[in-house]
Amino acid sequence: MKEDLWRLLAVMSGSFIIGLLTGQILLCLLTGLSGYVYWQYRAFKQLLLWLQKRSQHETPEHSGLVDQIAREFDYRRSRHNKRKKKLSNYLKRFQKAVAALPDAIVVLGENDKIEWANEKARKYIGVRWPQDSEQRISNLIRYPELLSFLEDASKHSPEKHIEIVAPADAELQLEIRVSPYGNNQRLLVARNITKLHRINQMRTDFIANASHELRTPLTVISGYLEAFSDDDNGSPTVWQDQISRMRRQADRMRTMIESLLKLASLESEQKPSSEKRINVPDIITSICQEAIQLSGGLNPHKITFDIDPELWLKGDEKDLHSAFSNLVFNAVKYSPKGSDIQIDWYQDNNGAHFAATDSGEGIAPEHISRLTERFYRVDPGRSRDKGGTGLGLAIVKHVLVKHRATLEIESAIGRGSTFRCDFPVDLIVQPDSIPLSI
């Protein structure tokens, strides 16, 4: 800056002296100034050309302001380049780390277009990077279950997942999660759960096989016990009490084996084994009649029901019967005689609902989330006394999952409980509608 001022001063002084000598002061000053402005103009022009096309033009050699601007620009450029290099190194390292993950990762942008994917995505779900960049994932994966999960992903929580056979390798079992992030982007993560799936399968098969094997000897034992309990067979009277106790235990074992087999078969099917139109009002009415018998025949429990006779569902009749009866019989088992039990079957905008409300002992909040686990009982002794197996609510949960329904439990100690099954609207059918093709 100072250099430029001195230069201007020198030009103006020189022009002034020449003006004095020639007697044309003003003309000389104007000529000197114009020369100076033109010189600066050329310097800036050179600077501009250098900034625009650095490789083809020399660095401006003018000292002063132009030189300072060129230096400042050079400094900022090299700083920017360093930062860019650092960021691109970070990005490379991050991409290497994500690529090394054992899970398949796919970044989905607007309209579910693929923005990035790691190597495992090719192996598990057949998405190749960079070949499939900007393709819509629905054009690459023709897997209805996964596509409808992606479509509905915004409605459910990121914890929700589905388990499917890997689209790119039928030997693999995947657990898929979708998490929204950033600006309308979503992260699809597919985890290989083949080993876990096999272990679960082995466990289910083992329970099913063991239960199946136990069934026959138990039938023989029960048959003999029945024969022994018959006085006409000449069995000693002193043994009658023990024999009837043995029969009760054998009956319990049979119920447990049947429940275990039921659970194993429910677990092995993803969907209802049949999707017929079900006359649910009829099923519930007959269950309520059975419940009155169970509670002592003369309805000492004051069971009342409000059932929509027009509300049918499509699904599996046996499974639905077993879920509803478990809930109604539990209401009878776990509430004292004389108390009220209300059974409702109704429809609203959210779908169809079955609710069993009792005014019995109720359940403490810490137990509620665990009630549908196998063999989970709030009071094991009491459950056994009532002939419970601890498997009823596990069966209910599996039946509901198969029907895309959910179980809601509301309970308060001393005030009673409501067990409500919520079925989606699309399962509802009218009683007189055309039969569905299965």
Residue 284: CB minimum distance to ligand ADP, A = 16
Query: CB-based burial of residue 197 (10 Å sphere; 0-12 exposed, 13-18 middle, 19+ buried)?
Result: middle
Contact between 383 and ligand ADP (CB under 6 A)? yes
Residue 407: CB minimum distance to ligand ADP, A = 11
Q: Give 3-28 as a DSSP string.
A: HHHHHHHHHHHHHHHHHHHHT-HHHH
Residue with tokens 């009760």: 248
Residue 299: CB minimum distance to ligand ADP, A = 17
Spatial contact of 11 and 32, defined as CB atoms under 8 Å apart: yes
Residue 104: CB minimum distance to ligand ADP, A = 37
3-class DSSP state for residue 166?
Answer: strand
Residue 377: CB minimum distance to ligand ADP, A = 3
- For ligand ADP, the closer CB: 351 or 390: 390
Residue 251: CB minimum distance to ligand ADP, A = 14
- For ligand ADP, the closer CB: 288 or 363: 363
DSSP lists the bridge partners of residue 421 as 354, 407
Q: Which stretch binds ligand ADP (CB under 6 A): 55-63, 197-205, 291-299, 390-398?
A: 390-398
Q: Which residues contact 376 (CB under 8 A, 6 or more apart)?
A: 367, 370, 390, 393
Residue type, 137: I
Contact between 378 and ligand ADP (CB under 6 A)? yes
Q: Which of residues 317-376 bind ligand ADP (CB under 6 A)?
A: 326, 330-331, 334, 358, 360-361, 363, 371, 376
Residue 107: CB minimum distance to ligand ADP, A = 43
How many amino acids of this chain bind ligand ADP (CB under 6 A)? Answer: 21
- For ligand ADP, the closer CB: 101 or 364: 364
DSSP lists the bridge partners of residue 423 as 352
- On the question of a cis peptide bond just before residue 144, with omega within 30 degrees of 0, the verdict is no
Alpha-carbon span 405 to 319, nearest angstrom: 13
Residue 245: CB minimum distance to ligand ADP, A = 20
Spatial contact of 331 and 295, defined as CB atoms under 8 Å apart: no
Other Cβ atoms closer than 10 A to 229: 15
- For ligand ADP, the closer CB: 143 or 334: 334
Contact between 417 and ligand ADP (CB under 6 A)? yes
Residue 341: CB minimum distance to ligand ADP, A = 9
Residue whose C-alpha is closest to residue 342's, from 420, 276, 431: 420
Alpha-carbon span 427 to 276, nearest angstrom: 10
Q: Which residues contact 132 (CB under 8 A, 6 or more apart)?
A: 114, 117, 140
Q: Which residues contact 16 (CB under 8 A, 6 or more apart)?
A: 25, 28, 29
Residue 331: CB minimum distance to ligand ADP, A = 5
- For ligand ADP, the closer CB: 211 or 326: 326
- For ligand ADP, the closer CB: 236 or 381: 381
Helices (H), 186-239: 194-229
Contact between 390 and ligand ADP (CB under 6 A)? yes
Q: Which of residues 263-322 bind ligand ADP (CB under 6 A)?
A: none
Contact between 377 and ligand ADP (CB under 6 A)? yes
Alpha-carbon span 107 to 94, nearest angstrom: 14
- For ligand ADP, the closer CB: 290 or 379: 379
- For ligand ADP, the closer CB: 277 or 301: 301
DSSP lists the bridge partners of residue 173 as 165
Q: Which stretch binds ligand ADP (CB under 6 A): 89-97, 108-116, 174-182, 389-397?
A: 389-397
Residue whose C-alpha is closest to residue 337's, from 359, 355, 369, 317: 359
Contact between 393 and ligand ADP (CB under 6 A)? yes
- For ligand ADP, the closer CB: 413 or 425: 413
Contact between 388 and ligand ADP (CB under 6 A)? yes
Contact between 389 and ligand ADP (CB under 6 A)? yes
Spatial contact of 357 and 246, defined as CB atoms under 8 Å apart: no
- For ligand ADP, the closer CB: 24 or 418: 418
Spatial contact of 274 and 316, defined as CB atoms under 8 Å apart: yes
Contact between 150 and ligand ADP (CB under 6 A)? no
Alpha-carbon span 236 to 282, nearest angstrom: 46
Under the rule (CB under 6 A), what is the footprint of ligand ADP? 326, 330-331, 334, 358, 360-361, 363, 371, 376-379, 383, 388-393, 417
